[in-house]
């Protein structure tokens, strides 16, 4: 049986679980099912190091008795196990307090029909072929520079998934997706010591991935470029975040405008609707129905139909990212973001990377961040970093063992420019971002 053929069986199981919940007296109920299957191959120094097949299936069951909520989960789909799990959720609900915000979304918020977002592209690859691709990728990386003397390996992964959600309103939604990736991590060494860097590619279809030789070459170039680092000056300088690191920076912004952070009053952007949080030339928007994209879905974790949302329009915070529960806590409507955002994109006037560099008289180009020094309540930001020192608009030399610090609210307002190099390998599509000034502490 093809993997995708499990989808109909899972939908039937969801219907059966909802019937059992009703039989056990639940006023409302919802069920989430996930099924994953895949292959992972890793090699190191030209030899197979690990071969893994995975297949997992799990059921999350939530019951509501009035405004009391109970949840339980199981990996066993037998009739007895399902009945026992529903019973466990019922017993948990008996011990919880009433919460007027608990409950399902209104039926009219569910999708009227399924949407085909072109997310399922299985890769019929054998372990032998995957091993050959990984070995070729690693070899291409090591061949870049004689100083690349070691490797943390190359890995090929091919995963298929099915997601099904159903609730007692009668809505059952399902979709299948694939995610394929290839990565390479290399270690270089010279008289000054060792450095490590990587590259990876990821897509719904393996045909949309970068080829193995390109991934290896970029990993090799990045690693070789970091050898013989110097110390960075200490002071206040412009900081240019590479696209992958800038995506993380935008991730902190998403957390700050999330409904749970708002109703818990645990965000530096508390009650900031209508305020300017980015420069006027920037807009932050999500595109959940974009075909073939990694973050696409036509319903969220509440079963609510997803839609395009503009969270920040021309720098002004227009909307929080809300689930049904957080929306009720804030007396606002859900935005279809239970479980997170979908294909979030930073939009505005974009420049080439060379133009961004030319704006930096003296400053830092960040290609790696370390540590978790981000205070989501105050916005204080302090993280270890590595990258390259820039002078007169040109990269001069690699730097490491430094710290960059600032406050997120100030950093967002002081974005000077963004690149045209958006990183599309994840759910947040951010290009390189140039921050006007941050504190840099060198060695």
Task: Give me the residue spans of the domains in the chain.
Answer: 3-225, 229-443
Residue 223 confidence (pLDDT): 97
**pTM metric for this prediction:** 0.94
Residue 10 confidence (pLDDT): 96
Residue 371 confidence (pLDDT): 87
Three-state SS letters, the chain: CCHHHHHHHHHHHHHHHHHHHHHCCCCEEEEEEEEEEEEEEEEECCEEEEEEEEEEEEEEEEEEECCEEEEEEECCCCHHHHHHHHHHHHHHHHCCCCCCCCCCCCHHHCCCCCCCCCCCCCCCCCHHHHHHHHHHHHHHHHCCCCCEEEEEEEEEEEEEEEEEEEECCCCEEEEEEEEEEEEEEEEEEECCEEEEEEEEEEECCHHHCCCHHHHHHHHHHHHHHCCCCECCCCEEEEEEECHHHHHHHHHHHHHHCEHHHHHCCCCCCCCCCCCECCCCCEEEEECCCCCCCCCCCCECCCCCECCCEEEEECCEECCCECCHHHHHHCCCCCCCCCCCCCCEEEEECEECHHHHHHCCCEEEEEEEEECCCECCCCCEEEEEEEEEEEECCEEEEEEEEEEEEEEHHHHHHCEEEEECCCCCCCCEECCCEEEEEEEEECC
What is the chain's Cα-based Rg? 24
Number of other CB atoms surrounding residue 397 within 10 Å: 13
Residue 295 confidence (pLDDT): 96
Residue 442 confidence (pLDDT): 86
In CATH terms, 3-225 corresponds, of 3.30.40.10, 3.30.2290.10, 3.40.50.2000, 2.40.50.140, to 3.30.2290.10
- Mean pLDDT (10-residue bins), the chain, 443 residues: 92 96 96 97 97 96 96 95 96 93 96 96 97 98 96 97 97 97 97 95 98 98 96 96 96 97 97 97 98 97 98 98 98 97 96 96 96 94 96 96 96 97 93 97 84
**Structural contact between residues 365 and 395, judged by C-beta atoms closer than 8 angstroms:** yes
């Amino acid at each position: 049986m093809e993997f995708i053929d499990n989808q109909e069986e899972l939908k039937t199981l969801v219907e059966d679980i909802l019937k059992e919940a009703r039989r056990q007296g639940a006023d409302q109920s919802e069920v989430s099912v996930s099924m994953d299957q895949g292959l992972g191959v890793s090699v190191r120094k030209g030899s197979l190091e690990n071969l893994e097949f995975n297949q997992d299936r799990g059921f999350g069951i939530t019951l509501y008795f009035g405004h009391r909520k109970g949840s339980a989960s199981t990996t066993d789909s037998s009739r007895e196990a399902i009945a026992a799990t529903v019973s466990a959720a019922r017993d948990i609900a008996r011990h919880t307090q009433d919460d007027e915000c608990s409950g399902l979304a209104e039926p009219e918020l569910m999708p009227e029909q399924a949407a085909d977002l072109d997310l399922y592209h299985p890769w019929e690859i054998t372990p032998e072929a995957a091993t050959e691709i990984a070995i070729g990728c690693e070899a291409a990386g090591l061949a870049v520079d004689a100083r690349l003397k070691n490797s943390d390996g190359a890995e090929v992964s091919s995963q298929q998934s099915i997601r099904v959600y159903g609730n007692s309103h009668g809505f059952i939604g399902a979709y299948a997706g694939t995610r394929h990736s290839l990565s390479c991590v290399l270690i270089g060494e010279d008289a000054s010591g060792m450095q490590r860097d990587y590259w990876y590619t990821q897509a719904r279809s393996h045909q949309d991935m970068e080829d193995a030789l390109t991934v290896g070459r970029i990993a090799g170039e990045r690693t070789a470029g970091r050898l013989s680092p110097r110390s960075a000056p200490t002071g206040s300088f412009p900081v240019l975040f590479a696209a992958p690191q800038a995506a993380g920076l935008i991730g902190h912004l998403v957390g700050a405008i999330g409904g749970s952070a708002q109703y818990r009053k645990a965000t530096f952007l508390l009650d900031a609707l209508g305020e300017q949080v980015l420069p006027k030339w920037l807009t932050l928007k999500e595109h959940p129905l974009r075909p073939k994209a990694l973050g696409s879905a036509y319903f969220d974790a509440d079963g609510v139909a997803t839609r395009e949302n503009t969270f920040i329009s021309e720098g002004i915070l227009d909307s929080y990212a809300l689930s049904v529960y957080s929306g009720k806590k804030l007396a606002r409507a859900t935005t279809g973001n239970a479980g997170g955002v979908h294909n979030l994109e930073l939009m505005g006037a974009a420049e080439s990377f060379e133009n961004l560099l030319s704006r930096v008289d003296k400053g830092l180009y960040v290609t790696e961040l370390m540590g978790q020094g981000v205070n989501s309540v105050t916005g204080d930001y302090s993280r270890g970093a590595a990258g390259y020192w820039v002078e007169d608009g040109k990269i001069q030399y690699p730097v490491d063992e430094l710290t960059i610090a600032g406050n997120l609210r100030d950093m967002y307002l002081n974005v000077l420019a963004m690149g045209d190099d958006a990183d599309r390998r994840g759910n947040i599509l951010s290009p390189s971002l140039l921050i006007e000034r941050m504190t840099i502490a060198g060695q």
